[in-house]
Amino acid sequence: MASNVVRPSDAELLQAQADLWRVSLSYLTPMSLRCAVELGIPTAIHRHGGFASPADLITALSLPSAKLPFIRRLLRLLAVAGVFTVDKTTAEERYCINPVSYLLVDGIPDEVHINHTSLVLTCTSTRYLEAAIGLAEWFKKDVVTAPFEELHGATLFHESMESLDPDYHNMANEALDAHDNFGIEIALREFRDLFEGIQSMTYCCGTCGDDKAARAIVKAFPHIKCTVLAPPKMIATKPADGVMINYVEGDMFNFIPPAQSVMLKLVLHHWTDEDCVKILAQCRKVIPSREDGGKVIVGDIVIDYSGPMLETHLLMDIGMMTMSKGRQRDENEFREIFVKAGFSDYKILKKFGARVAFEVYP
């Protein structure tokens, strides 16, 4: 069959070559970030007053002076990527902490701050990269097991990974904690009206398997009668700090404790559509009618094809495809699983960074 593709112009072809260079070498940006994290550059800049020249960093990190021109090149790329900002008002440029690198600084006494170093190290780890390199071979196989599990014979965040590589398992779970629990205090302020209207809530622990968000909610809104559905391992280690929470052992595919509302925070994107429908159907069974305040609160990443975070959303989706059986969904895909689970309506409350909060009604 003859091709209908029109030959690009000379200018377009030259630009296309440059674009291929950029896309093919873009993996060096996260690897440069990994290098900066391993060297401790964000923390060193923070301790230097929030800004530092390459020469300052050579001294602070006790690096060989011969590496000065190379660290300049590293910082230059990371600044273009948005990890640092650059102050060019002095004789030698200074690199400054910005909101991105702030999340990579050790020892910040801020209730909102969670160090994301483990997230960077996990996402740029050999285990992650090997799974991604094997995608083409994975597509050729008649399997639905995630490439990560197919390659390593273990499931990320699961006990099988702990048995295979305990250190990696611990680091990956630290990364998941930062991913799932960053911004809890901000959410309590942003969604105050929502929580003030809730009388009882069942909080379903997802892959992260912790109750940090539930405990923060009850501390801020003590009128909420909260039940946490959790695995036995988490219940056995729950803190004895007087927070009034009822813990119930179980899994959300088979049983969810009844309440006015059920919360699924960053749970559904770890599961297939079929699994999500099963989880949501269990939720629907245990909440009252919409008129009596019944609802499921879903916090998750939602692909926004017209928003500024589209590339982030799609990278997260390919990350989920490579590492797990989960996926990121757009609003229409969420609507489909809500309807299949028997819900009549939903409402997007507001965007929350790269995420969205839904109320889903029976």
pLDDT by 10s per residue, the chain, length 362: 667 888 999 999 999 999 999 999 999 999 999 999 999 999 999 999 999 999 999 999 999 999 999 999 999 999 999 999 999 988 889 999 999 999 999 988 877 789 999 999 999 999 999 999 999 999 999 998 999 999 999 999 999 999 999 999 999 999 999 999 898 999 999 989 888 889 999 999 876 667 889 989 999 999 999 999 987 777 766 666 667 888 898 889 999 999 999 999 999 999 999 999 999 999 999 999 999 999 999 999 999 999 899 999 999 999 999 999 999 999 999 999 999 999 999 999 988 899 999 999 99
Q: Are residues 161 and 221 in the same domain?
A: no
Burial status of residue 4 (CB atoms within 10 A of its CB: 0-12, 13-18, 19 or more): exposed
Catalytic residues: 269
Q: Are residues 308 and 350 in the same domain?
A: yes
- Farthest-apart Cα atoms in the chain, separation: 74
Q: What are phi and psi of 298, to 5 degrees?
A: -115, 120
Residue 110 lies in a domain: no
- DSSP for 178-194, written as a single string: HHHHTTHHHHHHHTHHH
Burial status of residue 49 (CB atoms within 10 A of its CB: 0-12, 13-18, 19 or more): exposed
Domain of residue 277, residue span:
183-361
Residue 69 lies in a domain: yes
Q: Are residues 82 and 173 in the same domain?
A: no
**Residue 195's pLDDT is what?**
87
Q: Are residues 138 and 200 in the same domain?
A: no
Q: Are residues 199 and 145 in the same domain?
A: no
Q: Are residues 193 and 173 in the same domain?
A: no
For 202, the 3-state DSSP assignment is strand
- Residue with structure tokens 């079929």? 274
Number of domains in the chain: 3
